């Protein structure tokens, strides 16, 4: 995803002189070519995320289209007040790029795990929240960001995420993409865990269960039309995300279900509500939280057999 972002940003900068890129002491080697090609449109503010956001706000007020970049917890938490007051209050067109969503930086420990960022960004007025599911969606989201008139949070994985889509023809901010169709249940996934959703759906199909997979790349605004098609059919509706059980995609869908007074069976699969107390790879942490394809499919099969109207969040917490 990171490489797809850099390529798309470079393409955008060649076509639009307003595009500027700011980083907070990150991206060495990755952005060297961008810095050489675009000179004054590359800025490193040092370890000063608040300064980075404030500078981006000033550039946006001057007619530029800034992209700011850091590891996801640093891009959202260290400078939250500046994001809220400088960007969101004035609805400035700045794209905040958080690399390393979920457990992408698994070995670095809880300080580098991004498990609260969607919730925090969702809570901010005027903020659009986009979590691409693969490199194709990442590039499309970068291009689509120029069509927004306010701030956007772009949550990326890190590197090596598999490509799911052949092209980005169906990508629109605010519109989910049906990747696989099915008549028995629906997995609505956001972010780089999309590939796990597809693997789980394949396991379910082998067990005789038709499972639809939606890439809900935009968490705010939520594509309620796509959700209504699933919930209206009486299917088990499952959300899947590498994020806390509080405030993320699962919370957003549950809020919508409650407001719509829909009694659709619902299951939210996520990383729970606790810090990781050990270190390990992204796959290690996913397995510890019940987020592998095998674990996800097993939990869905159990929910279908029990036919419960509403299910809880994380397998490890049940």
Domains in the chain: ranges and CATH: 2-155 (3.40.50.970), 177-317 (3.40.50.920)
Evaluate if residue 233 carries a pLDDT over 80: no
Gap between the Cα atoms of 255 and 269, Å rounded: 15
Gap between the Cα atoms of 122 and 250, Å rounded: 12
Query: Per-residue pLDDT tens for 119-167?
Result: 999 999 999 999 999 999 999 999 999 999 999 999 999 988 999 999 9
Residue 290 — very low, low, confident or very high, per pLDDT cuts 50/70/90? very high
Q: Determine if the pTM surpasses 0.85.
A: yes
CA distances from 215 to 24, 96, 147, 223 (A): 30, 21, 21, 10
Query: Per-residue pLDDT tens for 98-109?
Result: 999 999 999 999
- Which residue stretches of 84-159 are H helix? 117-122, 135-145
């Amino acid at each position: 995803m990171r490489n797809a972002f850099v390529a798309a940003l470079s393409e955008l900068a060649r076509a639009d002189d307003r595009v500027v890129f700011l980083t907070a002491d990150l991206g060495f080697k990755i952005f060297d070519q961008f810095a050489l090609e675009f000179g004054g449109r590359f800025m490193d503010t040092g370890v000063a995320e608040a300064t980075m956001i404030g500078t981006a706000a000033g550039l946006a007020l001057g007619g530029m289209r800034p992209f700011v970049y850091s590891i996801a917890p640093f891009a959202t938490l260290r400078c939250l007040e500046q994001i809220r007051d400088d960007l969101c209050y004035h609805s400035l067109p700045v794209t905040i790029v958080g690399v390393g969503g979920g457990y992408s930086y698994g070995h670095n420990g809880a300080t580098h795990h991004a498990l609260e960022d969607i919730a925090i960004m969702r809570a901010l007025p005027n903020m659009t929240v986009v979590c691409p599911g693969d490199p194709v969606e990442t590039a499309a989201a970068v291009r689509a960001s120029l069509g927004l008139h306010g701030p956007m949070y772009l949550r990326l994985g890190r590197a090596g995420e598999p490509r799911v889509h052949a092209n980005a023809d169906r990508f629109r901010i605010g519109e989910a993409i049906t990747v696989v169709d099915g008549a028995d249940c629906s997995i609505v996934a956001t972010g780089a865990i999309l590939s796990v959703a597809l693997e789980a759906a394949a396991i379910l199909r082998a067990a005789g269960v038709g499972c639809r997979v939606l890439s809900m790349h935009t968490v705010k605004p939520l594509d309620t039309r796509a959700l209504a098609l699933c919930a209206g059919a009486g299917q088990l509706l499952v959300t899947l995300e590498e994020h806390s059980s509080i405030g993320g995609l699962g919370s957003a869908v549950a809020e919508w279900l409650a407001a719509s007074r829909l009694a659709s069976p619902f299951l939210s699969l996520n990383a729970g509500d606790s810090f990781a107390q050990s270190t390990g790879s992204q796959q290690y942490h996913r397995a510890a939280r019940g987020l592998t394809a095998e674990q996800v499919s097993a939990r869905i099969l159990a929910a279908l057999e029990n036919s419960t109207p509403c299910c809880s969040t994380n397998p490890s917490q049940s």
